[in-house]
Amino acid sequence: MESFKIVRPEHLNHYGFLFGGTLLHWVDETAYIAASLNHPGCNFVTVGMDRVAFKKNVRQGSILRFDVQETRVGRTSVACSVVVHARTIQTGEEELVFSTGITFVCVDNCGKKAVVGEQRQDVCPLDSVTQSAPK
């Protein structure tokens, strides 16, 4: 899956470059969307990212291209590779700014691991207590 973002002033740190936390947010979100589209009905949560190393700084106005590829499907998890390139509008040149692997686990409605591809309508014990509590 391919996705794009433009770096705006509110995404910058105090040095005038893209804030790393914002990029990590976008990486997680983009990979989550890709995994969810590939596996409809699954509830995914992020388990972890491999290496977090920013290769280049990114300036305001840059257009980021996120390339997400599914690399592994396990019994309860899905792994993706995310590669981010920045393109400057003035030159059109593109360069690698970030890459990582990210792993999601499929969970049921109670937050427990579930098998990828199995749709479940579990009722959590806590939910039933909350729903039956007097108002």
Report whether 96 contacts 85 (CB < 8 A).
yes
Range of the structural domain that residue 106 is part of: 2-132
- Say what the pTM is: 0.86
The per-residue pLDDT for 122 is 60
Say how far apart CA 106 and CA 77 lie, in whole Å: 6
Residue ranges in the chain assigned as alpha helix (H): 20-38, 125-132
Query: Which CATH number is 63's domain given?
Result: 3.10.129.10
Per-residue model confidence as pLDDT tens digits over 67-78? 999 999 999 999
Number of domains within the chain: 1
Per-residue model confidence as pLDDT tens digits over 80-130? 999 999 998 888 899 999 999 999 999 999 999 999 987 656 666 655 544
Per-residue model confidence as pLDDT tens digits over 33-79? 999 999 999 999 999 999 999 999 999 999 999 999 999 999 999 99
